[in-house]
């Protein structure tokens, strides 16, 4: 059986934003007005998709439910990708349950000190701002700790073994394995230390809670990624994002040919030391997009509290930060301030996470 996953992240159009939060001119979106609602109606389409049971085998129960229609926003555009998988080398089942001794669980975290930082797109150093990153504003956070590395497939398997990460609720599944998609790392031989991907926000929350932690807020994630000086990338404003710093795709500017730096997928966490954030946190850009706990609000930055913001109280969409192995530098998606939104009940080949406490 072949699975066809169509995943769509919705992007805000690149615009100018400032600390004052000036309104974006309507003509910026003139070309997109007729396409926004069509894109937003269907976040994910699947063909013959099946859920998996706790033992990793396909169950008979399928998802009939599709995301509810999402209302238009006046500053959104789409970026959709078709990803096709053949099952030539499909693994029959995920590995047998592992003992604690078999699972390396480093639990390495770093303290992010209390204090102010600048959040949102810094127009002074970034010409690729999206409208939902505006306005650039000051936020004060309490002290917290964050995982140095993205949660790996090896670590997530331990939560599956414990039964806390599961697909018992078919409408709110936690994860998919290599059985359903060859690009998923859970159950893929040799990818144990790659980031856990194909995980929903529900599944990410379940793991963090099981580990005695929580998903970071968007503000916590962004401070850990860029520090306090409003830099464009975790390592600074230069050089521009490239394959020496980030697990990403690349494009030859002279020929237009695409060549994946990451061998067309994820890499082991912490692969590029030069790409770390000011606090020594790895892979804050690239490898996988990372779920945060906030609900998405396009204009939330205009009304968010200045101290320990946690996002809108309600919302149908979640937020993914950091960009992934799928993107090139030309996509404008591999920056510290980028905000992508997605249905929290779905995961795909580029969705991952880390935890805070």
Lookup result for tokens 């997109």: 32
CA distance 128 to 12: 11
SS3 assignment, position 62: coil
Say what the pTM is: 0.75
332: tokens are: 């404008």
Q: Is residue 42 part of a domain?
A: no
Residue that has been written with the tokens 């692969």 in this structure: 271
Tell me the sheet residues that pair with 76. Answer: 12
| pLDDT of amino acid 254 | 55
Contacts of 61 (CB under 8 A, 6+ apart): 50, 51, 170
Element (H, E) at 8: strand 4-12
Question: Residue 250's domain spans which residues?
Answer: 107-357
Q: Which residue, among 149, 134, 126, 136, has the nearest Cα to 299 in the 3D structure? A: 134
Tokens of 196: 């856990």
Does 68 map to a domain? no
Indicate whether 80 belongs to any domain: no
Report if residue 194 sits inside a domain.
Answer: yes
Tell whether 74 is covered by a domain: no
What b/e sequence results for 132-151 when a residue is b if at least 16 CB atoms lie within 10 Å of its CB, and e otherwise?
bbbbbbebebeebbbbbbbb
Mean pLDDT, consecutive 10-residue segments, the chain of 357 residues?
Answer: 35 48 29 31 34 35 36 35 35 42 61 98 96 98 98 97 97 96 96 97 98 98 98 97 90 59 85 96 97 98 98 97 91 95 96 98
Angle at CA 317, nearest 5°, toward 313 and 319?
Answer: 90
Number of domains in the chain: 1
Domain of residue 127, CATH code: 3.90.1580.10
Question: Would the CA dihedral through 207, 289, 58, 95 be positive or negative?
Answer: negative
Residue 229 lies in a domain: yes
| Residue 258 lies inside a defined structural domain of this protein | yes
289 bridge partner residues: 351
3-state helix, strand, coil in the chain (%, to 5): 15, 20, 65
In angstroms, rounded to a whole number, what is the distance separating the alpha carbons of residues 152 and 49? 24
Q: What are φ and ψ of residue 82, in 5° steps?
A: -90, 130
Report the 10 Å Cβ neighbour count for 80.
13
User: What is the number of helices (H) and of strands (E) in the chain?
Assistant: 4, 13
* pLDDT at site 177: 97
Residues 117, 250: Cα–Cα separation, whole Å: 31
Whether 86 maps to a domain, the answer reads no
């Amino acid at each position: 059986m072949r699975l066809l996953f169509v995943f769509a992240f919705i992007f805000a159009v690149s615009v100018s934003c400032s600390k004052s939060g000036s309104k974006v001119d309507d003509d910026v979106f003139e070309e997109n007005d007729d396409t926004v609602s069509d894109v937003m109606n269907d976040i994910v389409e699947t063909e013959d998709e099946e859920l998996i049971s706790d033992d990793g085998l396909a169950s008979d129960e399928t998802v009939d439910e599709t995301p509810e229609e999402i209302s238009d926003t006046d500053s959104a555009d789409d970026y959709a990708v078709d990803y096709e998988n053949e099952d030539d080398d499909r693994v029959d089942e995920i590995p047998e349950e592992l003992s604690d001794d078999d699972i390396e669980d480093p639990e390495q975290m770093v303290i992010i000190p209390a204090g102010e930082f600048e959040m949102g797109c810094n127009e002074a150093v970034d010409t690729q701002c999206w409208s939902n990153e505006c306005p650039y504003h000051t936020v004060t956070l309490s002290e917290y700790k964050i995982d140095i590395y993205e949660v790996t497939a090896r670590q997530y398997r331990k939560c599956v073994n414990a039964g806390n990460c599961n697909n018992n609720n078919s409408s709110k599944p936690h994860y998919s394995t290599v059985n359903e998609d060859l690009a998923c790392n859970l159950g893929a031989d040799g990818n144990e230390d790659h980031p856990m991907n194909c995980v929903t926000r529900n599944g990410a929350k379940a793991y963090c809670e099981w580990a005695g932690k929580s998903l970071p807020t968007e503000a916590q994630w962004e401070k850990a990624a860029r520090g306090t000086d409003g830099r464009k990338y975790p390592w600074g404003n230069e050089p521009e994002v490239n394959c020496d710093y980030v697990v990403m795709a690349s494009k030859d500017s002279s020929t237009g040919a695409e060549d994946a730096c990451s061998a067309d997928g994820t890499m082991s966490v912490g692969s590029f030391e030069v790409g770390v954030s000011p606090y020594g946190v790895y892979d804050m850009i690239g490898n996988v997009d990372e779920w945060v706990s906030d609900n998405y609000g396009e204009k939330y930055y205009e009304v968010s509290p200045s101290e320990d913001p946690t996002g809108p109280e309600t919302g149908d969409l979640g937020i993914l930060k950091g960009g992934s192995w799928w993107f090139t530098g030309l996509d404008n998606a591999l920056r510290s301030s980028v905000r992508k939104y997605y249905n929290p009940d779905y995961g795909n080949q580029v969705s991952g996470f880390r935890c805070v406490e």
